[in-house]
Amino acid sequence: MLRGVILLLLATPLGFAAPVPKELKRNDDERAILGTWQMVKQYRDGVDAGPQPLLWRFKVDGTAMIVNTDDRTANLEVAYKLDPAGKSSGFDWIWPGSTYLGLYRLDGDKLTVVFACRDKDRQPRPTELKAVVGVYYSEFRRVKPEGK
């Protein structure tokens, strides 16, 4: 009898599992975007604004620190949301009182982001990752941790 119970237990898949850590539930882009990114190119309203002295630091908790490397007192923390859906995926900046709708593309150590310039106008999400009128277009390179 005991042998039968043991065989039954071994043959029956367990109906429960240990909880999956939140970090492992995140999609690939949510993991890949984490870390620090240096702006290398920016266009505002279709005009080349040159790279700004900015770092974007994406954190596991869904927030990002925008660091002005020229004026450390101008740092700002905002929320972000990714909606990976293919070649050009949704990217939202969530500021107090405003949400800027955009797109992003992650390609290894290159991040491209475009988002509508004006939330107050309720501009729709851009449809392409291009530097055109009505959007901010930015390119970033991943900042490698020292010693790597």
- The whole-model pTM stands at 0.75
Is 132 domain-assigned?
Answer: yes
End-to-end alpha carbon distance in the chain = 59
51 with 40: CB under 8 angstroms? yes
Domain that holds residue 59: 27-142
Count of structural domains, the chain: 1
Is 68 domain-assigned?
Answer: yes
17 band by pLDDT with thresholds 50, 70 and 90? very low
Report the C-alpha gap between 105 and 94 in whole angstroms. Answer: 18
Over range 81-98, report the average pLDDT: 80
Q: ∠ CA(63), CA(137), CA(94), 5° rounding?
A: 25
Is 4 domain-assigned?
Answer: no
- Res 141 pLDDT > 80: yes
Nearest to 33, CA basis, from 66, 51, 58: 58
pLDDT digits (tens, 9 = 90+) for 100-122: 889 999 999 999 999 887 755 56
